[in-house]
Structure 1
Amino acid sequence: MTEGVTGHRICCFGDSLVNGVRDAEKGGWPMRLGRRLINEAKREATIYNLGIRAETSEGLKARWKFEAELRMVPEFPTILMFSFGVNDANHAEDRGEETTMRVSPGKSATNAAEIIGEASKLAPTLWIGPQAVIDGGKSSKDINERLEGLNQIYGETARGFGVPYLDVHATTLTDQDWQRALRRGDGYHPDRAGYDRLAELIWDWDGWRNAVGFG
Structure 2
Amino acid sequence: MIGDELVAGLGDARGLGWVGRVVARTQAEDPVFVSPLAVPGETTTALSARWERESRLRFHPDGNNRLVVGLGAADLDAGLSLARSRLNLANILDGATAEHVRCFVVGPPPRPGVDEDALATLSEAFADVCQRRHIPYVETFSPLRTHEQWHADVASGDGMHPGQAGYGLLAWLVLNAGWHRWLGVAEDG
Alignment CA distance shift 1:124-1:152 (3 Å): same
Corresponding residue for 1:59?
A: 46
CA separation in 2, counterparts of 1:86 and 1:186? 17
Corresponding residue for 2:3?
A: 14
CA separation in 1, counterparts of 2:30 and 2:18? 17
CA separation in 1, counterparts of 2:94 and 2:142? 25
CA separation in 2, counterparts of 1:44 and 1:154? 30
Corresponding residue for 1:213?
A: 184
Paired residues of 2:107 and 2:137 also in contact (CA < 8 A): yes
Task: Give the TM-score taking structure 2 as reference length.
Answer: 0.89
- 1:169-190 deviation digits (Å, cap 9, x = unpaired): 1101122221111111233311
- 1:98-136 deviation digits (Å, cap 9, x = unpaired): xxx2x22221121111112212333110011111114xx
Counterpart selection for 2:63 from 59, 63, 76 = 76
Q: Does 1:126 align with 2:87?
A: no
Q: Does 1:149 align with 2:127?
A: no
CA separation in 2, counterparts of 1:198 and 1:154? 17
Task: Give the TM-score taking structure 1 as reference length.
Answer: 0.79
1:32-51 to 2 correspondence within 5 Å? 32-37=21-26, 44-51=31-38
Report deviation, 1:25.
Answer: 1.4
Report how many aligned residue pairs link the two structures: 185
Q: What is the CA RMSD across the aligned residues, in angstroms? A: 1.8
Paired AA for residue 158 in structure 1: C
Corresponding residue for 1:26?
A: 15
Alignment CA distance shift 1:174-1:42 (3 Å): farther
CA separation in 2, counterparts of 1:194 and 1:42? 29
Paired residues of 2:26 and 2:180 also in contact (CA < 8 A): no
Q: Which runs of 5+ in 1 are unaligned?
A: 1-11, 93-100
Tell me the percent identity.
30
Instruction: State the structure with bigger RCO (CA 8 A, min sep 6), 1 or 2.
Output: 2
| Bigger CA radius of gyration | 1
Alignment partner of 1:125: what SS?
Answer: strand
Q: Which runs of 5+ in 2 are unaligned?
A: none
Q: Tell me which protein shows more strand as a share of its residues.
A: 1
Paired residues of 2:106 and 2:137 also in contact (CA < 8 A): yes
Corresponding residue for 1:173?
A: 145
Alignment partner of 2:174: what SS?
Answer: helix
Extract structure 1 runs of 4+ deviating beyond 4 A: none
Paired residues of 1:37 and 1:44 also in contact (CA < 8 A): no
- 1:64-109 deviation digits (Å, cap 9, x = unpaired): 011111111134312210011311122x5xxxxxxxx2x2222112
Paired AA for residue 70 in structure 2: S
Paired residues of 2:4 and 2:70 also in contact (CA < 8 A): yes
